[in-house]
């Protein structure tokens, strides 16, 4: 695959650079831009980013390796990040991970043969009250998972149905209102 | 401390019950950006930037990012203006397990935070405000980008704000998956486009922060309190909640309760009230076995030692723990404490940046030994070995991640020793 940035991308990259007094701070946002475009930031993409920003390849590589959300190799079309950290752990996060390993026929860290799903075990995603949960493609959170709900999400994704952002309202102080939800 | 807290009548102020408040028009209709306007234009009340710093200092907003440091006092450490750039870095990394509160501000009241950051910017003569948000919060980052661009369009950010002559820029910056970037100097490295390796202090960020220039780091919730202090005064703020740790708090309650979620209530709430009355009690009527009060690094409290313990720095210190981020994890009687501690240790091992040997190696050993104990292959002397490892980690590293990893081990073992011993074979000889 040939990796290159379009004219629009380059304009966007210029805008990103203008947010900082130096070029180096653009490294993270431009890696994001590249990953959104190519689906991953393998070594070739890292090289492209380095050349575009006129930074050493070793720098961009070092940054890409440090941050877990950058995919250093090609991933499945849908990357399922299942949280198993503290609150998800005590809420059954590992059961969800095992369930997905079984239904997808892969281990955490793997990708299905058809290239549709990658499965990862991840650390706390900041959804502790809505455990267990997973994040899809570094994007939406799917909360309150059960094996059944997990199956529905996977089936939906197979049919091209991408879950939507779920707004979880702050529960009201139970003594000041009869209703449960607010905002 | 003995007067019972009037929390039942408490009306939320950080995230009030106003629908659509995240939209700038609705925020303005409800008095939004009035505090900023006052500070910039009412020279009788706010003659200079120092008067703003002093009011915030007086309010004693204790940092909601974990360390509990007085925000105004921190602002006062910024050196005198020298004509060069100065920065404010807003910490929305929110990655300490059990913590999920700042996202509520991004979603439901982003302008309150923006207004607070702008007042802070004026008070410290900041030229650019960076809002660092963990990369996993993509949805919330998009909400913040929208809110910031709306505030620009209305003239609250940018050149010559509201005709006051004060100018400042605001940039939303996404992380990319690294807990350590919540540590303030790691966050600065990450903003500079590097690997998030914490810096050796001193120099402190106020002296040499972003690009070597004076920088202050504050948590998102901390800054969201600022417009309220300006509007209602420090004396009002200090009437809310615990005397030495005043103000509203976003309590993130997770675990085995009936109604987990983020609740806004006064500081100093009794832990038992939060569990039983606020969060709907324990699921399936189970007993409380353990509570982690403020994110995974804060020492766990036993369920039978919660009577009289309140969510404020003093009360928690007396009880042998800390306020942290007020991200409370509630565990019921069926919880396996060995597993929980193993999972916490696995987290810190994964997130250690690896710069310091005691942290890099120590977190690995903690996880490995706990894994062994969890699988029934441990001996009682391994418990002493664990405690020995923590002693070699604490206070010997560049940043506090090593301490954050050590405390849970130390306190979970000492407070649930019998459960750990029951999982271990008796050692034939003691550790030399
Ligand atoms: C390992 C580590 C992780 C941290 N993570 C966060 C975080 O995610 N969010 C945060 O606001 N503060 C975090 N902190 C605390 C920050 O270093 C800093 O004290 C805080 O952002 C200052 O803001 P405040 O005074 O308003 O609380 C962390 C500290 C350490 C040592
Ligand atoms: S204590 Fe750990 S996380 Fe902090 S700088 Fe040292 S190695 Fe990195």
Question: Is A15 inside a domain boundary?
Answer: yes
0.80 exceeded by the pTM?
yes
Query: CB distance B177–A67 less than 8 Å?
Result: yes
Is A45 found in the same domain as A110? no
Does position B130 have pLDDT exceeding 70, yes or no? Answer: yes
Does position B20 have pLDDT exceeding 80, yes or no? Answer: yes
Give which of A101, A122, A96, A123 is closest to A112, Cα–Cα. Answer: A101
- pLDDT value at position B3? 56
Nearest residue of chain B to residue A140 (CA atoms): B139
For CA atoms B424, B428, B430, B432, give the dihedral sign.
negative
Question: Is A175 inside a domain boundary?
Answer: no
**Chain A residues within an 8 Å CB radius of B5:** none
Structure confidence by residue, pLDDT tens digits, B251-306: 999 999 999 999 999 999 999 999 999 999 999 999 999 999 999 999 999 999 99
* A121 φ/ψ angles, rounded to the nearest 5 degrees: -95, 125
Does position B430 have pLDDT exceeding 80, yes or no? Answer: no
Is A88 found in the same domain as A60? no
Query: CB distance A129–B100 less than 8 Å?
Result: yes
Using CB atoms, which residue from B96, B97, B138 is nearest to A139?
Answer: B138
Does position B41 have pLDDT exceeding 90, yes or no? Answer: yes
Query: How many structural domains compose chain A?
Result: 2
Ligand 2 centroid – CA B324 distance (Å):
19
Does position A182 have pLDDT exceeding 60, yes or no? Answer: no
Question: Is A72 inside a domain boundary?
Answer: no
Ligand 2 centroid – CA B370 distance (Å):
21
Give which of A21, A164, A122 is closest to B136, Cα–Cα. Answer: A122
**Chain B residues within an 8 Å CB radius of A19:** 171, 173
Give which of B304, B321, B327 is closest to B255, Cα–Cα. Answer: B327
Is A112 found in the same domain as A151? yes
Question: Is A55 inside a domain boundary?
Answer: yes
Per-residue tokens: B309: 């313990």
Structure confidence by residue, pLDDT tens digits, B90-128: 999 999 999 999 999 999 999 999 999 999 999 999 999
Question: Is A164 inside a domain boundary?
Answer: no
Here the ipTM equals 0.95
Closest-CA distance, B51 to chain A, in angstroms, reads 30
Closest-CA distance, B122 to chain A, in angstroms, reads 20
Domain membership of residue A47 as a residue range: 7-66
Structure confidence by residue, pLDDT tens digits, B154-182: 999 999 999 999 999 999 999 999 999 99
Does position B14 have pLDDT exceeding 50, yes or no? Answer: yes
Is A91 found in the same domain as A60? no
Ligand 2 contact via B354 beta carbon (within 6 Å): yes
Task: For residues B54-71, give the mean pLDDT.
Answer: 97
Closest-CA distance, A92 to chain B, in angstroms, reads 10
Is A57 found in the same domain as A31? yes
Ligand 1 centroid – CA B107 distance (Å):
20
**Residues whose CB falls within 8 Å of the CB of residue B322, separated by 6 or more in sequence, listed in order:** B68, B293, B294, B298, B299, B313, B316
Is A127 found in the same domain as A59? no
Distance separating alpha carbons of residues B361 and B58, to the nearest angstrom: 43
Per-residue tokens: B333: 């009687």
Average pLDDT of chain B? 96
Question: Is A126 inside a domain boundary?
Answer: yes
Structure confidence by residue, pLDDT tens digits, A62-111: 999 999 999 999 999 999 999 999 999 999 999 999 999 999 999 999 99
Question: Is A152 inside a domain boundary?
Answer: yes
CB-count burial class (<10 Å; 0-12, 13-18, 19+) for A21: middle
Is A92 found in the same domain as A152? yes
- pLDDT value at position A177? 43
CATH code at position A87? 3.40.30.10
Is A61 found in the same domain as A14? yes
């Amino acid at each position: 695959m040939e990796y290159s940035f379009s004219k629009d991308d380059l304009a966007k990259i210029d805008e990103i650079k203008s947010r900082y007094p130096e070029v180096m701070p653009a490294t993270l946002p431009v890696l994001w831009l590249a990953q959104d475009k190519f689906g991953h930031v393998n070594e070739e993409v890292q090289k492209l980013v380095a050349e575009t920003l006129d930074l050493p390849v070793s720098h961009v590589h070092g940054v890409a390796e440090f941050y877990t959300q950058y995919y250093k190799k090609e991933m499945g079309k849908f990357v399922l990040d299942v949280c198993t950290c503290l609150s998800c752990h005590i809420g059954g996060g590992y059961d969800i991970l095992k369930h997905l390993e079984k239904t997808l026929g892969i281990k955490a860290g793997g990708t299905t043969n058809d290239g549709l799903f990658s499965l990862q075990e991840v650390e706390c995603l900041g959804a502790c009250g809505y455990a267990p949960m997973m994040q899809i493609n570094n994007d939406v959170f799917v909360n309150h998972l059960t094996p059944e709900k997990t199956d529905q999400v996977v089936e939906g994704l197979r049919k091209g149905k991408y879950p939507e952002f779920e707004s979880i309202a702050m529960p009201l102080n139970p003594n000041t209102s009869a209703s449960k939800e607010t905002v | 401390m003995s007067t019972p807290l009037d929390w039942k009548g408490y009306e939320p102020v950080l995230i009030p019950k106003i629908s659509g408040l995240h939209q700038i028009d609705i925020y303005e209709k409800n008095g939004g950006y009035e505090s900023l306007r006052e500070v910039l234009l009412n020279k009788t009340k706010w003659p200079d930037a120092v008067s703003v710093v002093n009011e915030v200092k007086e309010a004693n907003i204790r940092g909601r990012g974990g360390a509990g440091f007085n925000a105004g006092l921190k602002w006062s450490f910024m050196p005198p203006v020298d004509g060069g750039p100065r920065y404010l870095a807003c910490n929305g990394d929110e990655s300490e397990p059990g913590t999920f509160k700042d996202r509520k501000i991004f979603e439901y009241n982003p302008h309150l935070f923006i207004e607070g950051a702008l007042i802070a910017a004026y008070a410290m003569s900041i030229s650019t405000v960076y809002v660092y948000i963990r990369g996993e919060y993509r949805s919330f980052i998009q909400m913040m980008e929208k809110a910031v661009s709306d505030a620009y369009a209305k003239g609250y950010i940018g050149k010559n704000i509201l005709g006051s002559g004060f100018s400042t820029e605001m940039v939303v910056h996404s992380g990319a998956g690294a807990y350590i970037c919540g540590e303030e100097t790691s966050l600065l490295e990450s903003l500079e486009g590097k690997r998030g390796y914490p810096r050796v202090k001193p120099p402190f960020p106020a002296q040499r922060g972003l690009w070597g220039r004076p920088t202050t780091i504050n948590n998102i919730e901390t800054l969201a309190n600022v417009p309220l202090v300006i509007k209602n005064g420090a004396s009002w703020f200090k009437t809310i909640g615990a005397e030495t740790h005043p103000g509203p708090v976003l309590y993130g309650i997770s675990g085995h309760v009936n109604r987990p979620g983020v609740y806004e209530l006064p500081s100093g709430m009794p832990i038992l009230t939060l569990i039983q009355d606020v969060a709907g009690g324990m699921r399936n009527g189970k007993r409380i076995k353990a509570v982690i009060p403020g994110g995974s690094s804060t020492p766990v409290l036993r369920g039978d030692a919660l009577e009289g313990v309140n969510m404020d720095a003093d009360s928690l210190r007396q009880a042998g723990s800390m306020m942290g981020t007020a991200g409370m994890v509630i565990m019921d009687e069926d919880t396996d404490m060995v597993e929980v501690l193993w999972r916490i240790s696995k987290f810190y091992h994964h997130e250690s940046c690896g710069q310091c040997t005691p942290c890099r190696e120590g977190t690995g050993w903690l996880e490995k030994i706990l894994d062994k104990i969890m699988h029934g292959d441990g001996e009682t002397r391994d418990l002493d070995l664990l405690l020995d490892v923590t002693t070699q980690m604490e206070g010997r590293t560049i940043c506090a991640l090593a301490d954050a990893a050590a405390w849970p081990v130390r306190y979970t073992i000492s407070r649930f020793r019998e459960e750990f011993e029951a999982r271990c074979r008796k050692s034939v000889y003691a550790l030399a």
